Amino acid sequence: MNVGSANIQGESPEAKGGCPIVCAGKVVGQWLEDRTGIISAYRKIAGRILPGGVSWCRVWPSAVLFLLIVQAITGVCLWMHYSPSAQTAWESVYYIQYQLPGGWLVRGIHHYSAQLLVAVTGLYLLHLVFSGGYRPPREWVWWTALGLLALALGGCLTGDLLLWDVNGYSASQVRVGFLTLLPGIGDDLYRLAVGGQTFGHHTLTRFFALHVSVIALGFWVVFGLHWYFLRRSERLAADGGLVQCPACRWLRQWWKSRLGSVGQSEASTTPPSVYADEPYWPGQFFRNAVVWLGLMIIILLLVLHPWKPAAKEAGGGLADRGARLLAPADPDPAAFYAAARPEWSFRGLYQLSNLFPSNPIPGLGISWKIVPIFVLTGLVALFFLAMPFIAWWKWGHVVNVAAVTFVTVALILLTLVSYWHDAADSHYREAVAEAEAMAQRVKVLAAGLGGIPPQGALSLLHQDPKTRGPKLFASHCVICHDLPGESVMNIRAEKPSAPQLYRFARREWIQGLLDPAKVGGPEYFGNTRFAASAMVRYVQGRYQNLPDSDKAAIIEALVAEAGWDGPSGESPVQKELVARGRDLISQHCTQCHVYRGEGPRGFTPTLDGYGSYAWLVGIIADPTHGLFYGARNDRMPVYWSSAVDPGVNRLQGDEVAVLAQFLREEWFEPDRPLPPKREPFLMIAGRWDGLRPTVPIPGDSPAERARWLYQKELCSLCHSMTGVEGEEPIMAYRPAGGDPGGPGTSGRTPWPPRRSSHSPPAAEICR
């Protein structure tokens, strides 16, 4: 290498001649070589002599290095777009997967090359064991290779959580929770790992920092050491430098014998066990490059998974390719993902730990789980570390090979059992299907609503009537109310004891309500205390005397009250019919119902806005409100009563709002118009609160106030008051009790009341 002879002025005489480009290239090359030595370094690397010659068995470290470089390239790119916090981690991964051009591919390559890194490192270790490459003097080669596997697994463990989806979140909780098994230091270690007592921002920042610094950098350092020890052992070991597995040896033999027929002299003269040294270039480079390309093809196949039918996803096109992303993690313990599983590489350990009970070991007070998670794993790790020493012993290698074979076969079997177990577990399959449906839904919402609110993607699901509604209905309503609809609107009560709510306040439902055969049946009031109420008797009795056109008008007017102008609306109602129906309601129904300022309070639900969003919010929040059932409320609890003390509420305001929208089937669907914008819950609750009678009580004297309350609130429903001198008599809406001022009517007065001097006909009461 005559590096000193380069013309450092950059103006070589040849450059002025007839070959400007070639000569300029030469000059630049020489200058570069002179200043940096890069070309001779390249020649040295490419031309370095491999003791024992080129071999497929030499590709292992190079394959690991390739995957490591792929991890670094894609990892840095992901790093640029990832944001580790509880409100942004899932959201930024969603952005990478579905919005960033090429993001899904980068993420897919990163994910699957990480899986391959574990697999290739594991196979490399097996190769070292079975070919004897771990034996002295290669202890450090073996130990650094073990370190590579540990780091690859550590990368999977930390990377899994970074998605902050239900699987990573729940699985990591289990995983990190194992730390508390350790006696004494367990709890402290747990807090160190989590960055506090519970999973949150600091868990993400810690795991992220570990993932991108300690593990990623550690990988390069350990790999560098491994490479160094490997080269050194090649150079110095007396065994020819090359350890080969039987397959490689056979392949080589076969190849040499074929070459021999071509006329290569060496192959025929060399004994089969001794191989000539060969340069790296080009034979080994070719083999390495073929393996790199093979690995990349496998990665791309895993990313594109062409064998799976393309699911229609929010991002469209290829966006559903690549690594999986489930719904965002929900810190609600009730939302713990029951089908949380570790990556495939931990499935063996997962299944092993399932074989042990959680109850304490007698006399120790530590859970049995410590045996698979720490004791057995630790012993196996220790054994792996000690293998080079065991190999000194005459039969040591045989023992090592047998033990490694046993551990490998056991892990494979346990892994298979774990997958087989899941495949046969219907609960697992249901949980996975549910999680996938939720993931699909949140992506549809995020894409359809033009972005994710600053509170995070979880709020999209929490405020989504389609997915949250059924859960709320199932935990609060279905104990009495049946919901015999389809798909999400199908939640069946075991023992319905209240009206069914499918398509509540829509035409069909109202028609059923006003059907004499149904109103007293189980679909409506049959199982309530109103089974023989005035409503049922009215529908079965006097309502039947109305002409059919009047009935139709009343039904149309009631349907109109619910305001079905949203995407889930009923067919348009005829205006004249509705107007006539409203008059008829005022005429016939205000004897018991409040409608347009008429009718008794605290008795029956108001018909103003019957079934509308605000009406539903009001009755769910407080059915005992004077404009709903008042004191006559059957069994329906007050679900919401305080804006300042959430502890007294059975449902929080947003949950009431979600239920009301759910019952009205007002939710976002990509192929439907947007659902109507709704006022915040507290606005509506405040309006209902303003309608409570306790606020405006007119009158100055106690007597006047008492009279007002008697008349407007519950008393005058049943009790008339007629005999007070100097005051107008108060007539009961539905006389059923004594008259505290009058001559005395004890016992129940029959309904409808008899016409008498102090009981005017019912129709006149409210007029």
Partner 1 sequence: MSEQTNQPENSAVFSPSEDAHPKEERGSCMVCGRRGWLAAWAGWVAAVAAYLTPILAALRAFLAPGAKGSAQAGDFRRVATLDMVPENGTPITVPILAERVDAWNRYPSQPIGGIFLRRTEEGKLLALNVRCPHLGCTVIYDSAKGELLCPCHNARFNLNGERLEVNSQSPRDLDPLEVEVRNGGEIWIRFQHFRLGVAERIPE
Q: Kindly list the residues in this chain that would bind partner 1 in the complex (CB under 8 A).
A: 43, 46-49, 51, 66, 69-70, 73-74, 76-77, 80-81, 88, 91-92, 94-96, 99-103, 105-106, 109, 113, 132, 135-137, 235-241, 246, 249, 272-273, 277-279, 281-283, 285-286, 288-290, 292-293, 295-296, 300, 391-392, 446, 449-454
Q: Find, among 489, 511, 628, 498, the residue nearest to 568 by Cα.
A: 489
Q: Are 160 and 172 in contact (CB under 8 A)?
A: yes
Residue with tokens 């709020």, as numbered in its chain: 459
State which residue, 139 or 550, has the beta carbon closest to partner 1. 139
Alpha carbon distances (Å) from 325 to 37, 94, 346 = 48, 8, 19
Q: Find, among 211, 209, 202, 206, the residue nearest to 86 by Cα.
A: 202
Q: Find, among 124, 580, 175, the residue nearest to 346 by Cα.
A: 175
State which residue, 277 or 576, has the beta carbon closest to partner 1. 277
Length reported for the chain: 767
The nearest distance, CB 96 to partner 1, in angstroms, is: 8
3-class state of residue 649 by DSSP: coil
Angle between helices 681-690 and 653-663 (to 10 degrees): 90
Q: Are 91 and 34 in contact (CB under 8 A)?
A: no
The nearest distance, CB 244 to partner 1, in angstroms, is: 9
Q: Find, among 216, 199, 198, the residue nearest to 164 by Cα.
A: 199
State which residue, 23 or 296, has the beta carbon closest to partner 1. 296
State which residue, 94 or 662, has the beta carbon closest to partner 1. 94
State which residue, 270 or 533, has the beta carbon closest to partner 1. 270
Q: Are 53 and 277 in contact (CB under 8 A)?
A: yes
The nearest distance, CB 341 to partner 1, in angstroms, is: 27
- How many Å apart are CA 529 and CA 497, to the nearest integer? 10
The nearest distance, CB 45 to partner 1, in angstroms, is: 11
- How many Å apart are CA 628 and CA 599, to the nearest integer? 12
Question: Which tokens in the block code for residue 460?
Answer: 């999209």
- How many Å apart are CA 327 and CA 460, to the nearest integer? 11
Q: Does residue 680 have a cis bond before it (omega within 30 degrees)?
A: no
Q: Are 730 and 720 in contact (CB under 8 A)?
A: yes
- How many Å apart are CA 296 and CA 514, to the nearest integer? 69
The nearest distance, CB 640 to partner 1, in angstroms, is: 25
State which residue, 74 or 604, has the beta carbon closest to partner 1. 74
Please list, residue by residue across 588-602, b when 16 or more beta carbons sit within 10 angstroms of its beta carbon and e when fewer do.
Answer: bbbbbbbbeeebbbb
**β-strand pairing of 490-491 with 483-484:** antiparallel
The nearest distance, CB 295 to partner 1, in angstroms, is: 7
Alpha carbon distances (Å) from 147 to 144, 173, 226, 363, 460 = 5, 25, 9, 36, 42
The nearest distance, CB 565 to partner 1, in angstroms, is: 23
State which residue, 290 or 413, has the beta carbon closest to partner 1. 290
R_g of the chain computed on alpha carbons? 40
State which residue, 454 or 747, has the beta carbon closest to partner 1. 454
The nearest distance, CB 102 to partner 1, in angstroms, is: 3
State which residue, 252 or 588, has the beta carbon closest to partner 1. 252
Which residues lie closer than 8 Å to 444 by C-beta, 6 or more apart? 314, 668, 670
> CA-CA-CA-CA torsion for 125, 126, 132, 136, nearest 10 degrees?
30
Secondary structure (H, E, C), 1-61: CCHHHCCCCCCCHHHHCCCHHHHHHHHHHHHHHHHHCHHHHHHHHHCCEECCCCCHHHHHH
The nearest distance, CB 74 to partner 1, in angstroms, is: 5
State which residue, 2 or 487, has the beta carbon closest to partner 1. 2
The nearest distance, CB 599 to partner 1, in angstroms, is: 39
**129 φψ region: left (φ > 0), alpha (ψ -120 to 50), beta (else):** alpha
- DSSP H helical segments within 650-738, as ranges? 653-663, 681-690, 702-712, 715-718
The nearest distance, CB 229 to partner 1, in angstroms, is: 12
State which residue, 106 or 480, has the beta carbon closest to partner 1. 106
Q: Are 676 and 566 in contact (CB under 8 A)?
A: yes
The nearest distance, CB 455 to partner 1, in angstroms, is: 10
The nearest distance, CB 449 to partner 1, in angstroms, is: 7
The nearest distance, CB 398 to partner 1, in angstroms, is: 10
State which residue, 223 or 610, has the beta carbon closest to partner 1. 223
The nearest distance, CB 144 to partner 1, in angstroms, is: 18
State which residue, 91 or 665, has the beta carbon closest to partner 1. 91
State which residue, 281 or 356, has the beta carbon closest to partner 1. 281
- Which amino acid belongs to residue 146? L
Q: Are 558 and 610 in contact (CB under 8 A)?
A: yes
State which residue, 83 or 711, has the beta carbon closest to partner 1. 83
The nearest distance, CB 274 to partner 1, in angstroms, is: 8
The nearest distance, CB 622 to partner 1, in angstroms, is: 30
State which residue, 244 or 716, has the beta carbon closest to partner 1. 244
- How many Å apart are CA 116 and CA 305, to the nearest integer? 15
Question: Which tokens in the block code for residue 67?
Answer: 């995957």
State which residue, 99 or 497, has the beta carbon closest to partner 1. 99
